[in-house]
Chains A and B, each alone.
Chain A
Amino acid sequence: MSDMNTAMIEKYRNSFLSEVEANVEEGEWVKMCMQCGVCAGSCPLGNAWEHTPQKIFMMIRAGKRDEVLTSDSMWMCTSCYNCIVRCPRELPITHIMHGLAHYAKRLGIAPKEQPTAKFAQLFWDNLMKKGRVNELKLGVDLYFKVGEGMKTAMKNKDIGLAMWKAKRLNPMEFFGGHSIKDVSGLHKIIAKAQELEEARIAKHGG
């Protein structure tokens, strides 16, 4: 993966914007940003993150490649879509944020200890096993593997109990858990998607 990082740096030496346009989902929209600040002011995360979408888009244009790709800002996005519905230029901001996070991960330079990134990986691994999310296992993994530990787990036990009562959380799921009808079919679909993606990367990065 870090080979790919080097290749990309070489290829887009002068323009991080072109790199984003070619490799990041919806990246071609970044140049449309007019820096009005509506997304930054509308994002519920407020001061909780380092760079707002508005700032990230400016940093991309200013060629601040490392600062952007290693930042944890885009991993903070909660997909609330507040920014998208208000952006006067209709930039698909949420998708760009996720696209940037995804690209950074592909390059192997995403922040290592970022909880959202860890959760995303757990979610994916969990989903791939049976073709559906096993909420019980995901919850357990989340609290123990991400390092939140017993304390958080206890804090949330009432939610777990309520989910169990509402038949949303079945303790029996811990032993194997049920799957979708055709797990291998799903795996084939994913494999194909991955193949297409590799081809796209090879085209741009090669």
Chain B
Amino acid sequence: MTEVVATNETILVVGGGISGMTAALEAAETGKKVVLVEKLPYLGGRVSQLYKYFPKLCHPTCGLEINQRRAKMNPNLTILTMAEVTNIEGEAGAYTATVKLSPRHVNDNCTACGECAKVVETEFDDEYNYGMSKRKGAYLPHVMAHPMQYVIDPRIVGTDEGQKAKDACKYNAVDLDMQETEIKFPAGAVIWATGWQPYDAAKIQPYGYDRYDNVITNVEFERMADPKGPTGGKIVRPSDGKEAKNVAFIQCAGSRDRNHLYHCSRICCMASLKQTHYVVDAYEDAKVTIYYIDIRAIDRFEDFYATVQAMDNVTFTKSKVANIKADKDGNPVCYGVDTEGYHRYENAHDLVVLATGMEPSVAKGDFPVDIVINREGFIEADAANGGVFAAGSASDALDVNRAVQHATGAALKAIQVVNRVAGAEA
């Protein structure tokens, strides 16, 4: 049974992505007690699913590793994974949080030796790879997972497979009897950092994401480019596994569109420019087309845009593609009219990547606490929120740099609230 020692001077952080981790660490390193609640079995959030980071094109694992080390070293930080906040009651300085803990079926004895995964045969879609590959029913969510512990999928618990996993474990780490539990604890301030999710591309009907194998999303493309990903880092067509050298990016897929997301998702222009590097680096004879309304390479990233613009094998077509149809060879064909001259085009590609936008991961009506949410579904900074502060992409579509800055600000606001509590109690 998980015990959480907390008081009204404790800060609760909801969501363990880069923003939640940053806010939690910043606060804990000033000496505050922090409880970090993460829904998934690991920390890191969406950043851990990116292959490389813009603007430096470095690997996100390095930033994550630093944060994980800070987390391991800090005695003020309690991390709860597979945990969801179901209710928050009270007011600034005196909240009570209710948290539901789902069973991992693996305890802290786990050394991540991997024996359980070897014996289990049942496979499920791998969420980490957006379902582009399979994983075992006993699994490590990804190679850099923190905590570095395996998970037993509840769907094999109660079957022979579950028993096999338990029998294979030499460290007595598999616990098939773990149950879902609920805990309650106090907190003085709350940092809400539940982040974003990709907009559901199937809703953009004319692009046929649900009809054509060779139309994928930018988050899937990140996994595809990653050597640890479902294709071993090969950029290929999902339909036939052939090399995808002629790749199109469609910008604003679902964003800036009153039928879908009202807002500009702000990172997807940069994401496509970054992903253009992946294609060009992979194939000498690559050919990339970027269909766009206007390129929004946010502030100091203009250089990054200029570099891609200067590439011989990259074409920028000012036009939002009207629709996609597959030809007889399975090539997605983009149809539309070019705004610079109003020329009608019909271009076949090997692979189309939809630059889908970011929407808040928690739906408007699903917040377990009364806070101000804007039309786009993001959390507004508002005095009515009391001691609840948004951090990172739960507040807006942000890149990592801005998310982290925002999270540090949120940590400071939360610290001020618990300091007031401490002052009153002293």
Residues of A within 8 A of B (CB): 34-38, 40-42, 46-47, 52, 54-55, 85-86, 88-90
Contacts and interface: CB of A to CB of B under 8 A. Distances in A.
Contact of B293 (A36, A47, A85): A36
Nearest to A90: B258
Interface string B349-372: 000000000000000000000000
Interface string B206-235: 100000000000000000000000000000
A37 B320 CA distance: 6
Contacts of A40: 322, 336-337, 342, 344
A54 B257 contact: no
Contacts, number: 58
A88 B335 contact: no
B258 A37 contact: no
Contact of A86 (B206, B293, B319, B335): B206
B206 A35 contact: no
7 contacts: A34-B256, A35-B293, A36-B293, A37-B320, A37-B322, A47-B344, A54-B342
Interface string B293-316: 100000000000000000000000
B339 interface: yes
User: By DSSP majority rule, is chain A's interface helix, strand, loop, or mixed?
Assistant: helix
Contacts of B7: none
Given A40-B344, A41-B335, 20 more contacts: A35-B293, A35-B339, A36-B320, A36-B339, A37-B322, A38-B336, A40-B337, A41-B319, A41-B320, A41-B322, A41-B336, A42-B206, A42-B323, A54-B339, A55-B342, A86-B259, A86-B322, A88-B252, A88-B259, A88-B260
Interface string B318-354: 0111110000000000011111001010000000000
A41 B256 contact: no
Given A37-B319, A40-B342, A88 B337 contact: no
Interface centre among A35, A46, A52, A88, by most B CB within 10 Å? A88
A76 to B, nearest CB: 16
Nearest to B334: A41
A41 B320 CA distance: 9
Interface residues of B, number: 20
A33 B342 CA distance: 15
B206 A88 contact: no
Q: Which 7 A-B pairs have the closest CB atoms?
A: A41-B322, A41-B336, A40-B337, A88-B257, A36-B320, A37-B319, A42-B322
A42 B342 CA distance: 13
Contacts of A34: 256, 293
Nearest to B317: A37
Contacts of B338: 37
Given A37-B338, A42-B206, A52-B342, A89 B320 contact: no
A37 B256 contact: no
A37 B318 CA distance: 9
A85 B323 CA distance: 13
A34 B251 CA distance: 14
Nearest to B338: A37
A48 B33 CA distance: 69
B115 to A, nearest CB: 53
Contact of B319 (A36, A46, A47): A36
A110 B321 CA distance: 32
A200 B320 CA distance: 37
Interface in B95-149: none
Contacts of A54: 337, 339, 342
Contacts of B319: 36-37, 41
Nearest to B259: A88
B134 to A, nearest CB: 36
Contacts of B256: 34, 88
Nearest to A52: B337
B319 to A, nearest CB: 4
